[in-house]
Amino acid sequence: MNSVISAKGLTKRYGKQVAVDNVSFEIPAGRIIGLIGPNGSGKTTALKAILGLAPFEGELKVLGFDPSTQRDELMQQVCFIADVAILPRWLKVKDAVDFVAGVHPKFDRAKAERYLAHTKLKPGMKVKEMSKGMIVQLHLALVMAIDAKLLVLDEPTLGLDIMFRKQFYQNLLEDYFDEDKTIIVTTHQVEEIEHILSDLMFIQDGKIILSASMDEVGERFAEVMVNADKADAARALNPIDERQVFGKSVMLFDGVPRAQLATLGETRNVGIADLFVAKMKGTYA
């Protein structure tokens, strides 16, 4: 079993609306994948299929299990935070820790308590007394203490301030991740996860429009600050995006060798956010 997730012809329809359109992909173990797409692009639907939360068409194996028929077995190995998941208002911090410790064989209570110690949460506190950020902190402390083979994080840091977001991704990389684990993250704050990702997957209108490792992305895509006199030569190379900065054109190229680009102007690696905007052009139009 090399792939953690293997999908062939994965399709999900809501009535006539196709949310995920005949998608095939393989995700190997030991990767941190950023699943990036605009709202309504089908990423949450795809994640729901992977987690056995929604029926789907096509073939899908997660850790060797079929999520639609073997969800109970699968959930021993998988953990997730759904973008809209909310902890129930009546739940107390200490009860939440007790409960997860009671039902999850791979929960490390000491770890959860260590995370909680860095927050303002108190054991007797109920969710209804917490701010939105504190609820997310509790949820993350619980999930991060579970030693799951696959962790799916759908907008995990919504409502957290920047200090805690940075800390969270740092912990995720240093404390949680290892070569046996796979993490799938979606977020709108792309630039914050850029440095921890190993792979990138762009999804648009239910289709995967880009799937590459970060190394490949670095090799394929480059941004060039083009000198005005070379603009026409640069445009001849079909940049996938062009914008103006201080009177100069910044162009984004796909698959043009660096050496060639260097003759046009100053080159640099492209950020995911810029790449995303370039790739998604038209979606928001």
Residues making contact with another protein (CB under 8 A): 14, 45, 48, 51, 53-55, 71-72, 75-76, 79-82, 84-92, 95, 98-100, 102-105, 139, 143
CB of 204 to another protein, least distance (A): 19
11: exposed, middle or buried (Cβ count in 10 Å: 0-12, 13-18, 19+): middle
H-type alpha helices, the chain = 43-50, 71-74, 93-103, 109-117, 132-144, 162-171, 190-193, 214-220, 231-235, 258-262, 272-279
d(CA 22, CA 31): 23
Cβ neighbours of residue 195 under 8 Å, at least 6 residues apart?
none
In the complex with another protein, which residue's Cβ is closer, 50 or 226?
Answer: 50
Helix (H, G, I), strand (E, B) or coil at 105: coil
Enter the tokens of residue 115.
Answer: 């995370």
In the complex with another protein, which residue's Cβ is closer, 105 or 282?
Answer: 105
CB of 55 to another protein, least distance (A): 6
CB of 149 to another protein, least distance (A): 12
CB of 129 to another protein, least distance (A): 15
In the complex with another protein, which residue's Cβ is closer, 92 or 243?
Answer: 92
In the complex with another protein, which residue's Cβ is closer, 98 or 180?
Answer: 98
Cβ contact 84:53 at 8 Å: no
In the complex with another protein, which residue's Cβ is closer, 53 or 273?
Answer: 53
CB of 67 to another protein, least distance (A): 12
CB of 46 to another protein, least distance (A): 13
The 3 state secondary structure assigned to 134-156 is HHHHHHHHHHHCECCCEEEEECC
CB of 273 to another protein, least distance (A): 28
CB of 128 to another protein, least distance (A): 11
Cβ contact 39:33 at 8 Å: no
Angle made by CA atoms 29, 38, 135, in degrees to the nearest 5? 70
In the complex with another protein, which residue's Cβ is closer, 91 or 196?
Answer: 91
In the complex with another protein, which residue's Cβ is closer, 97 or 193?
Answer: 97
In the complex with another protein, which residue's Cβ is closer, 48 or 279?
Answer: 48
Enter the tokens of residue 178.
Answer: 């290892």
Phi, psi dihedrals of residue 176, rounded to the nearest 5°: -105, -50
Residue with tokens 């907008």: 155
Q: Which residues pair with 153 in a beta bridge?
A: 81, 185
